[in-house]
Chains A and B, each alone.
Chain A
Amino acid sequence: MGNTNHKESFVSKFVFTQDHKMISKQFLITAIFMGIAGVMMSVFFRLQLGWPGESFAILETFMGKWAPNGVLDRNAYLALTTIHGTIMVFFVLTAGLSGTFSNLLIPLQIGARDMASGFLNMLSYWFFAVSSVMMLFSLLVEGGAASAGWTIYPPLSVLPQAIPGSGMGMTLWLLSMTLFVVSSLLGSLNYIVTIINLRTKGMSMTRLPLTIWAFFITAILGVLSFPVLVSAIVLLMMDRMMGTAFYLSDIFIGGEALDATGGSPILFQHLFWFLGHPEVYIVLLPALGISSEVIATNSRKPIFGYKAMVGSLMAIGFLSFIVWAHHMFITGMNPFLGSVFVFTTLLIAIPSAVKAFNYITTLWKGNLRFTPAMLFSIGLVSTFVTGGLTGIILADSALDVTLHDTYFVVGHFHIVMGLSAIFGMFAGVYHWFSKMFGTMMNTKLGYAHFWLTITCGYGVFFPMHFVGLAGAPRRYYNSSSFDFLSETADLQPIISVFAIIGSLSQLIFLFNFFYSIFRGQKAVQNPWKSNTLEWTTPVEHIHGNWPGALPEVHRWAYDYSNPAHEEDFVLQSTPLKDGEIGH
């Protein structure tokens, strides 16, 4: 791969590109479209939940026969929640976050010309693109999209007799997710290999920016856990299509006793959550990495406790593999086994606490520049702490009995993983926009976007804790179908109003994003006065990233406000001064 600009055709530059910067943009823009779809779905079912049975013209416009007379159909409601969850967790927060920023930043921050394999990288994107299209297409098939919840527990997901969405819709869901996993594996392997092998001279592992550490650990989690989901999916497909009974036993449905004995629906849950729990951290860790970088840069201060930050990333990554059964305390699993998982789950709170306190200490006595990215990063720490704390309650099996599958859980994970991860993604976009498109996003619009988003984010998900404590189950089509639910029923319309305003305020972001691509202020090379290597590349993208030789690294990434230097930042490629002790 040379470092000169070739003449390229449109197809090889924008479509089947092998350049990591372009692939990163492809991931981002696809994820934004998936995000728009996912958020719109949530608004649709929030309309039903806020005002059950009311007629909304907009529902009929978009949903057609699935919302007769503007009232959402019951099965369509379940399909919407299912696909909303799937899209947001996998397509936006996994592929969108990791795919965009691992691709953009790994080569740029470690000083590499490109990913280890540009071809695999391209395949990774195209598998993702096909799986995205397939997932959206599954909304249109007969019987509707998969509607067994994003966790697709069998037998519900196996039996079309049990729910219409378990027909063609579920088949497409399974195929789409299989392609998605292939994409994720190709990407993750590439990230790992690139980080291990292609670091430039002087870039030791202990000098890596925390973003790269986060992407590295995320990729390892992905490689170890996603294949388990594929196994689970293959067995599920065999149960659906070939009459096997891995997950089925003693079932009588549709007036008929099924010829399936000896399987266990719980087996699926073990396999699913063996991916599902690391998945939470696959979503969260890149966001934490991004915020570490953004907070240090905009506090003009070294990240506090770099080694502790890396250590806690590793600890969280490791622990995430031995906590999965905390999703299954009430499945009839042996209570003693439950105790073990209570213990391991609560252990995660320790590295998480270390991270939170280190963030706060980084802010302490800093010189804080309120760029939109910085605001989102601070917001991320707040949601990470607020959402993480309620996790302590859910991890306690005795309390989970009462709260399992209630709105409390919905509030918890939307704050700790939904808001935190999406804040991390926004922070990343605002911070590295100029690296992607060579222009700057509008700051004022960024402020409006941030303050509306954090207000609405907490406005939507914070009250859900109270709804859940009052015993309201999630995934109910009607939020007041039982008398005792009326205690908190008046919170539901409030939540819906915040959800609608919050979604509309994302239009500010969309406008800012697309407008700035074409009309934004031309960027300078290092707008945030940052230390990392990506800011030594030219503003205009070139193949191979650096025009001349690769930069050499002489120091760690966080020499902000170093008293030995005049400026409050020192590029990693700046050689040490005489007598200066480097990191």
Chain B
Amino acid sequence: MKLLILLVIVVGVIALAQLAKIYQLSARLRGHREEEISEADTRMNGALWIVFMIVFYATTIWQFVRYGDYLPPAASAHGESVDTLMNFNLAIIIFVFFVVNTLLFIFPYKYRYNKNRKALFLLHDSKLELIWTVVPSIVLAVIIIFGLKTWTEMTGPASDDAIRIEIYSKQFDWTARYSGDDGQFGATDFNLITPSNPLGIITEEGVMLANVKLTDKIAKLQAILDIEKVHLLTEKAEIEATLHGGDAHGHDGADSHEPSPDHTAHLESRLHDIETVLSSGEALVMTEAAYEAKEDKIYRLERHLQRILELQPYKFSDGLSGWEVGKDDRIVKGEFHLPIGREIEFIFRSRDVIHSAFMPHFRAQMNTVPGLPTRFKLTPTITTDSMRTILDNPDFNYILLCNKICGSAHFNMGMDIVVESQEKYDAWLAEQKVYIAEQN
């Protein structure tokens, strides 16, 4: 197969080369030069511009007919203004597209080369140039004003009775969080993330538990390092050298005085410990790289512990009671629900890299940025059921999908959205899992 393809390419190149040669030979015979465009070529290219224009326009119109109703109707209040703005802008640019391209394709046909004609010596025309500076400026001014009006409306502050929902992204799924009956979200910290606390919600128990677990982990790792044979032997040799004097002077002249009695006692007890470990047969042997990796891990865990120790209630506005509000937060995966007609303010957070929360049916999108919470508000206007009727598609679902490259499964990172009546929404929410800090 590969050979065949190669063969076809080689034969193709040879054929082209031969054709070019024949063409050149005949051109030379006719005294033809490359820079001279024959009348036939002028006619052909002039006509091709017109053909190209017709085909281009025909396919453009076909695409508008076939794909023009690009998305189902906007399912959010601001989405309707966005669609109006879109149609307004599209109308303008489609008009200009056809006018300018038509001139551009017809002129080459009309003014194709004619050796009996001389081109018009036209340098500039201030009036014309003023027209096509001023007219686009006015059109653009309208576009800007219309656009910014819509933009200001959709990005303004959310009303006080808006429902707040947190959308949390990580490679490669979404989690939604609803506040509990207190209407407040518990504070979060990325240092507290565990499999059972995927959002890192802060509770007093959680902080203590993390503290204990980390301390324990560090101790376990340290215990392994403590019985590493090579390091123990080295340490043993150094202690013996110090205790028996003399030898140590060679490489550390400044430290030539005898160790104090206390220090000697300390060293002796350490030496005893080392010997016990070595003789017990518990000692481990590991490569230097493995040893260093463990040391590095301990360092990182210590830093982690340090950051958790810095999590102090007084750093939060409500003090320790602020640490209680997270306990009744509801955590939702797979799909999340919205009540129709209520303003929703989304708060977006990210765990690892930048993702983008894209909800095309609601004309909504906002990046989720680690370390920087972002917001977007919208009011759903069409329930999932109504939209299924409108589209005549019983399987239709609103969707939240990732639209910022985030890794290998980026293309698969979605979560369904259900829009329903307030009653159904309330009932659904009551069933959702309530977050309670791990107790064990």
Q: Does B424 have its Cβ within 8 Å of any Cβ on chain A?
A: no
The residues of B that contact A491 with a CB separation of less than 8 Å are 67
Chain A nearest CB: distance from B392 CB in Å? 14
> Which A469-491 residues have C-beta < 8 A from chain B?
469-471, 473, 475-478, 481-484, 487-488, 491
Residues 439-468 of A, flagged 1 when their CB comes within 8 A of B and 0 if not, give 011111101000100110010001100100
Q: Are A257 and B86 in contact, CB atoms less than 8 angstroms apart?
A: no
* Contact present for A368 and B113 (CB under 8 Å): yes
- Closest residue of chain A to B2 (Cβ to Cβ) is A61
B103, A399: Cβ atoms closer than 8 Å: no
- A 371-403 contacts with B by CB, 8 A: 371, 375, 378, 381-382, 385-386, 389-390, 392-393, 396-399, 401-402
**Are B122 and A302 neighbours in the complex by a CB distance under 8 Å?**
yes
Return chain A residues, CB-CB under 8 Å to B356.
330, 404-405
B215 interfacial contact with A, CB 8 Å: no
Question: In chain B, residues 109-134, which have Cβ atoms closer than 8 Å to a Cβ of chain A?
Answer: 111-114, 117-125, 128-129, 132-133
What 0/1 readout, one digit per residue, does chain B (348-377) give for beta carbons within 8 Å of chain A? 100111101010110111110111111100
> Does B152 contact A339, Cβ atoms closer than 8 Å?
yes
Q: Report the interface size class on chain A.
A: 35 or more
State whether A156 and B369 are in contact (beta carbons under 8 Å apart), knowing that A368-B112, A484-B399 are contacts in the complex.
Answer: no
Question: Would A511 and B119 count as touching, CB distance under 8 A?
Answer: no
Contact A360 B365 (CB under 8 A): no
Closest to A301 in B: B119
Contact with B along A50-77 (1 / 0, CB 8 A): 0000000110010000000000001100
Distance between B86 CB and nearest chain A CB, rounded to angstroms: 6
> Do B412 and A481 touch (CB < 8 A)?
yes
Nearest-neighbor residue (CB-CB) of B70 within chain A: A469
Seen from chain A, the residues whose Cβ lies within 8 Å of a Cβ on chain B are 57-58, 61, 74-75, 78, 148-149, 153, 155-156, 159, 162-163, 248-253, 256-257, 259, 261-266, 299-302, 304-308, 330-332, 335, 338-339, 342-343, 346-347, 349-350, 353-354, 356-358, 360-361, 363-371, 375, 378, 381-382, 385-386, 389-390, 392-393, 396-399, 401-402, 404-406, 440-445, 447, 451, 454-455, 458, 462-463, 466, 469-471, 473, 475-478, 481-484, 487-488, 491, 508, 511, 515, 519-521, 524, 527-528, 560-563, 568, 583
Q: Which 3 A-B pairs have the closest CB atoms?
A: A249-B371, A471-B360, A332-B374
B147–A162 CB distance below 8 A? no
| Option from A361, A478, A561 in Cβ contact (under 8 Å) with B128 | A361
CB contact list, B93-108 vs A, under 8 A:
93, 96-97, 100-101, 103-105, 107-108
Q: Is B405 an interface residue (CB 8 A)?
A: yes
A78 vs B111: C-alpha distance in the bound complex, in angstroms?
47
Query: Contact: A466 with B67, CB < 8 Å?
Result: yes
A299-B190 in contact (CB<8A): no
CB-based contact A469/B67 at 8 Å: yes
The interface centre, meaning the residue of B154, B171, B371, B401 with most chain A CB atoms within 10 A of its CB, is: B371
| Interchain CB contact under 8 A, A521 and B365 | no
Once A396-B143, A521-B33 are accepted as A-B contacts, the answer to whether A364 and B89 lie under 8 Å apart by CB is no
- Chain B residues contacting A561 (CB-CB under 8 Å) are 118-121
Docked complex Cα distance between A302 and B150 (Å): 44
Q: From residue A562, how far is it (CB to closest CB) to chain B in Å?
A: 6
B381 vs chain A, min Cβ distance (A): 16
